[in-house]
Amino acid sequence: MQSPDPSPLSPSEPAIAQNVAALGFISPEVPPEVWQRHLAGAPLRLGVLASGSGSNFEAIAQAIAQRQLNAQIQVMIYNNPQAKAAARAERLGIAAELLNHRQFPSREALDQAIIDQLRRYEVEWVIMAGWMRVVTDVLINAFPDRILNLHPSLLPSFPGARAVEQALAAGVKVTGCTVHYVRLQVDSGPIIMQAAVPVLPDDTPDTLHQRIQVQEHRIFPRAIALASSG
């Protein structure tokens, strides 16, 4: 018998809830006592890094607005002037800062500029939500064990670029998404939370990615709460 979802992050839309019941398997769930502790504490001060659409950035903002995550997004930093995340930030009333990687002489220089902004906005947790730049020890050492990344596969399978395409090419029948601590080696840090989704016979990279993203939006706020609770 399946037990009811105990966390306050149950999806509200029936269609999503149905999907989740059919497809989503999250591990680990956040224990109720951790939720209570998290919700009773001081709000986490988040800095989100995004390179593209920003749907995970918005999912985190929504979780906060619905009081399912006790946090505030101090700033959203993006590296690509075309990133749709910027329009989302404007609509959500969240400060956004463009740091165009092309204008920096090295990865380290970009990371130092990111740190300067994160400090200016008094950020304590760095949330890489679709951040497509490799980070250096400059950033990692500035926020030890306080940088989380989201990756669209069940790590350690399919690290690096084009994880969804890699999963399709490998012919796996189950894939998913992972939230993990950031370490120097790409997509290698300790895993905080994962969700699994099936790969269907007629999947394209787009259809599979969409299915994975439903789960990403579910697990990222939960993983932030879990990680911050120690």
Question: Is the CB of residue 161 less than 8 Å from the CB of residue 174?
Answer: no
Using the rule CB under 6 A, is 180 a contact of ligand GAR? no
Whole-Å CA distances, 174 to 49, 124, 195, 197, 211: 28, 34, 10, 6, 11
Q: Pick between residue 16 and residue 39 the one whose CB is nearest to ligand GAR.
A: 16
Round to whole Å and give the CA distance between 138 and 111. Answer: 6
Fill in the amino acid letter for 193. M
Nearest distance from C-beta of residue 40 to ligand GAR, angstroms: 29
Q: Is 101 an active-site residue?
A: no
Round to whole Å and give the CA distance between 37 and 49. Answer: 26
Q: Pick between residue 213 and residue 228 the one whose CB is nearest to ligand GAR.
A: 213
Using the rule CB under 6 A, is 157 a contact of ligand GAR? no
Residue 79: CB atoms within 10 A of its CB come to: 21
Q: Pick between residue 116 and residue 161 the one whose CB is nearest to ligand GAR.
A: 161
Using the rule CB under 6 A, is 52 a contact of ligand GAR? yes
Whole-Å CA distances, 33 to 29, 40, 105, 160: 12, 11, 47, 35
Nearest distance from C-beta of residue 91 to ligand GAR, angstroms: 15
Task: Write the binding mask 64 to 103 for ligand GAR: x where contact by CB under 6 A, - elsewhere.
Answer: ----------------------------------------
Task: Write the binding mask 134 to 153 for ligand GAR: x where contact by CB under 6 A, - elsewhere.
Answer: ----------------xxx-
Number of residues interacting with ligand GAR: please give it, by CB under 6 A: 15
Using the rule CB under 6 A, is 213 a contact of ligand GAR? yes
Q: Which region among 13-21, 47-55, 61-69, 119-127 touches ligand GAR (by CB under 6 A)?
A: 47-55
Binding-site member from 20, 50, 214, 225 for ligand GAR (CB under 6 A): 50
Using the rule CB under 6 A, is 216 a contact of ligand GAR? yes
Round to whole Å and give the CA distance between 55 and 107. Answer: 25
Residue 91: CB atoms within 10 A of its CB come to: 10
| φ and ψ of 116, to 5 deg | -60, -45
Q: How far, in whole angstroms, is CA 188 from its chain's centroid?
A: 15
Using the rule CB under 6 A, is 24 a contact of ligand GAR? no
DSSP 35-93: HHHHHHSPPEEEEEEESS--HHHHHHHHHHHTTSS-EEEEEEEES-TT-THHHHHHHHT
Binding-site member from 20, 44, 89, 129 for ligand GAR (CB under 6 A): 129
Query: Active-site residues: which are they?
Result: 151
Contacts with ligand GAR, residue ranges (CB under 6 A): 50, 52-56, 129-130, 150-152, 163, 177, 213, 216
